[in-house]
A and B are shown apart, each in its own frame.
Chain A
Amino acid sequence: MSDIYVVGIDMIPFGRYPTRALASLGAEAALLALDDAGLGIRDMQALYCGNLMEAHLMVGQRILREIGQTGIGVVNTANACATGATAFREGLIAIKAGLYDLVLAVGVEQMGKGLLGGAKRTDGFVEEGVLGSGTMPAMFSQIGLEHAKKYGTTFTQFAKVAVKNHHHSTMNPKAMSRRETPLEEVMAAEMIAYPNTKLMCSINVDGAAAAVIASESAARRLGLMDRAVRVRASELTSGPYTPHEFAIPDFNLVTQNCARAAYESAGMSASDLDLVELHDCFATAELVHYENLGLCPDGEAGRLIDSGETALGGRIPVNSSGGLLSKGHPLGATGIANLYEVATQLRGAAGARQVSGAKIGLTHVCGGSPDRGSACVIHILEKA
């Protein structure tokens, strides 16, 4: 079967846009991606739109109202933190199925400040503090301490993730926070849920990212192959059963299963990767995903961050964009923004943060919520 390509991709700088409408953020990213491909909305045969908070409010249609109501099919997706990547993947599948040659995928989100989710149930009962915690930082701290229990991972090692990603973000003009945070500052910042301090939590921001996806024949016909990025793998999983199902969603197995499928379908292993954008919603998450993605053997994640191999200039740079920790995490946009970072690196257009000679990169998003479940999407991209 012929390959699928990203022929245009971009994102708006992540930040806070309280006076902007959600659709206008998505529209801006869509136009940037179309410009990047040198195409227009009339060339697009379908739109795949990822948004979580307004999932039932026809966000894709609202974006088309901003940029041209051509009447194409719109699919609105919602899939926790994998929302944007799921939208992208649905577009890719439709091209693979032979339905279309050119589709647009947009991820967009407008977030409030502070902790995600609410405390009150419909019967008025507040579970938080009684039935443990349902906050995202608490969940990912429990996952970090599960790793600490098994392998002796330390608070300092978790904190180093934030130091590294914040350092990377100083080279990314589209990141929300672009400032160095020394280890002492990260560890002394306000404790949110041990061991994640405030600087080890992703930032709630508004954002949008978009991609133009093309079949090989369309990419060739339109003369877009020189900047095209080939999609070598696109995989989606949901959390499989674990004995802790009703206590905490699974984020490890869901990623391991997705990674295994992605490496298999690309005919590759983790050692073939030049860079990774993984789901560092919290510093603790990045470390466990090193192992889940096979970047190091089980139990070695702490040593991997200590070694500096996942920093820019190291063996396998992780989150060169600054990651969710500093770029920000607009839920529905994140999955496509990760693809933007890897595509930009593979095009050799990442400026000061360029990973030299990058040919193959992996993007990973993984999310879920307590008492519901989890979702994971992995893409492997290759310089065409």
Chain B
Amino acid sequence: MRKRLLMAESAQAPLPAVNFLYFDEVGNGYLKGARCIDCGAVAPGDRLVCNACGARARMESVRLSERGTLYSYTIVHRSFPGVRTPFIAVIVDLDGGGALKGTLLGVKEDPREIRYGMPVKVVYRDTGQTSPEGRPFRSYYFVPSGMSPDE
């Protein structure tokens, strides 16, 4: 019964927007990364060789932190045709290593509302986009760390 349900769901199962985003058995997202045992550098996804120090076969699989701080940003007013603007494009330093680019939600698109170093957290949302087979693309986004997940 449980197995059949999962199979029925799989046709509509979400697709990750990036190759280092995974979903666990109950559909919760998590971000996979690789950490170098030698130099400590953290990169998204799986890696064979460390791009920071060149060490080979020294990468251990980790989950990227879902907490971080805002390193830099811009407010995008003009983008490619069909992309809704404005939005806040951020670079986030993840606690425990690694950095990601992403979109910051839950903050007004105004430089006065955005603080360098502000704590943020990762949330997983549907992107509103679907694959040709009709499967929804899901992605990670950033929100201010105080915000409740449903806002």
Contacts and interface: CB of A to CB of B under 8 A. Distances in A.
**Pairing of A with B:** yes
Interface of A: 115, 117-119, 123-133, 135, 137-138, 141-143, 145-146, 149, 190-195, 241, 243-248, 370
Contacts of A135: 76, 78-80
A368 to B, nearest CB: 14
B137 A244 contact: no
B131 A130 contact: no
28 contacts: A115-B80, A119-B83, A125-B127, A125-B137, A126-B82, A128-B80, A130-B102, A130-B139, A131-B103, A132-B89, A132-B103, A137-B74, A141-B74, A142-B72, A142-B89, A142-B91, A145-B72, A145-B73, A190-B77, A194-B74, A195-B74, A241-B51, A243-B93, A244-B99, A246-B43, A246-B44, A246-B98, A247-B71
B123 interface: no
A146 B72 contact: yes
Given A124-B132, A130-B139, A191 B77 contact: yes
A370 B101 contact: yes
A133 B91 contact: no
Nearest to B43: A246
Interface string B103-129: 100000001000010000000000101
Given A138-B89, A142-B73, A131 B80 contact: no
A337 to B, nearest CB: 26
Contacts of B13: none
Among A117, A145, A370, max chain B CB count under 10 A is at A145
A194 B102 contact: no
A129 B91 contact: no
- Mostly, the A contact residues are loop
Contact of A129 (B71, B84, B93): B84
Nearest to B20: A246
B71 A133 contact: no
Interface of B: 15, 17-18, 41, 43-44, 51-52, 71-85, 87, 89-93, 97-103, 111, 116, 127, 129, 131-132, 137, 139, 141
Contacts of A241: 41, 51-52
A132 B102 CA distance: 4
Among B79, B82, B98, max chain A CB count under 10 A is at B79
B79 A247 contact: no
A370 B90 CA distance: 13
A132 B77 contact: no
Contact of A123 (B72, B98, B101, B131): B131
A129 B100 contact: no
Given A149-B116, A244-B71, A248-B91, A131 B18 contact: yes
B72 A143 contact: yes
A370 to B, nearest CB: 7
A56 B80 CA distance: 25
A192 B79 CA distance: 8
A194 B137 CA distance: 28
A195 B110 CA distance: 11
A115 B79 contact: yes
Contacts of B77: 190-194
8 closest Cβ pairs, A-B complex: A132-B89, A141-B74, A133-B89, A119-B80, A132-B101, A194-B75, A247-B101, A149-B116
A245 B43 contact: yes
Contacts of A195: 74, 111
A149 B44 CA distance: 25
A137 B132 CA distance: 31
Nearest to A125: B137
Contacts of B18: 131
Given A123-B131, A145-B74, A193-B77, 4 more contacts: A133-B89, A138-B79, A146-B71, A245-B99
A290 B8 CA distance: 59
A125 B132 CA distance: 10
A194 B114 CA distance: 12
A53 B93 CA distance: 33
A195 B77 CA distance: 10
A340 B116 CA distance: 41
Given A145-B72, A145-B73, A124 B82 contact: no
Given A135-B80, A246-B44, A127 B17 contact: yes
Contacts of B103: 129-132
B72 A192 contact: no
B83 A132 contact: no
B116 to A, nearest CB: 4
B120 to A, nearest CB: 12
A272 to B, nearest CB: 33
B76 A193 contact: yes
Contacts of B84: 129
A247 B129 contact: no
Given A132-B89, A194-B77, A243 B41 contact: yes
